[in-house]
Amino acid sequence: MNKSGTDQADGLRRLMAGSPGRLVAVVGSGPGVGASSVAANLAAALAQQGKEVLLLDERSGAPSSQARREGRVVLIDAVLDRDGALSPLAAQADHVLVVLQPNAASITAAYTCIKRLHYAHALKRLRVLVNCATKVSEAQRILANLADTGSRYLALALHPAGCVRDDPRLAQAQRLNLTVVDAFQTSPAAIDLRQIAADLWQWPCGPQAVRQPTPPAIQSSSRNTRPVPAML
């Protein structure tokens, strides 16, 4: 790297060191929705964009209950407990990103997951991402319907995080043990993930009012029992 490039990199590191950073928990609404792939690809995309990134995988073992976030993005591939609650570390997240796929079963599971997270941690907002979207317009409609449902029945702000298009390059990259944003940078999924990563750094970090899970008996008495509206 030449001196100019070194100076730019040093300047970026100094700028990042003075920024608050981000802690983002990526949650799968159910098995097989691709949450781990989304987390890994967002980490790779953020690194490509010059961000300092730490990816923690709760599926391979419980990480520390603390993670330094100053000047960097900490992404947690989060695992929920049997009551649908986050780990102590993930509960500290500035943003919780729920990943689903565009089918009826996944949408219903996502709404159930969102409700459990809301009641477990008193979350005021969540981010939602549609993975493996066959049509962008359909994904946008699902996100809009979820946002309306969350506002109407849970008094919860569900912010669309975007969608990742269905792309055979995703599976091909996984077989190569690579992220799609590294292996196939011009593929539709890679383009989508880089855009979501760029947006992620701009997500505002206000107070989440996160609390630790309440006892199951208290949760069950307060849960909304309205049926899930059609999302498709």
Domain count, the chain: 1
Decide if 16 is inside a domain.
no
Decide if 5 is inside a domain.
no
Stretch 210-230: mean pLDDT: 46
Decide if 198 is inside a domain.
yes
* pLDDT over 90 at 141, yes or no: yes
pLDDT of res. 224: 45
pLDDT of res. 68: 64
pLDDT of res. 64: 53
In this predicted model, what pLDDT tens digit does every residue of 96-128 receive, in sequence order?
999 999 999 999 999 999 999 999 999 999 999
Q: What is the band of 61 on the pLDDT scale with cuts at 50, 70, 90?
A: confident
First to last CA, the chain: 51
Decide if 3 is inside a domain.
no
Report the alpha-carbon distance of residue 185 to residue 43 in Å, rounded.
14
Burial 196-221 (b: 16+ CB within 10 A, else e): bbeebeebeeeebebeebbeeeebee
Decide if 78 is inside a domain.
yes
Decide if 210 is inside a domain.
no
What is the domain range of residue 129? 21-204
Domain CATH for 44? 3.40.50.300
In this predicted model, what pLDDT tens digit does every residue of 4-26 receive, in sequence order?
545 544 544 444 444 568 899 99
Cα separations in angstroms, 97 against 16, 48, 116, 131, 160: 23, 21, 14, 12, 9
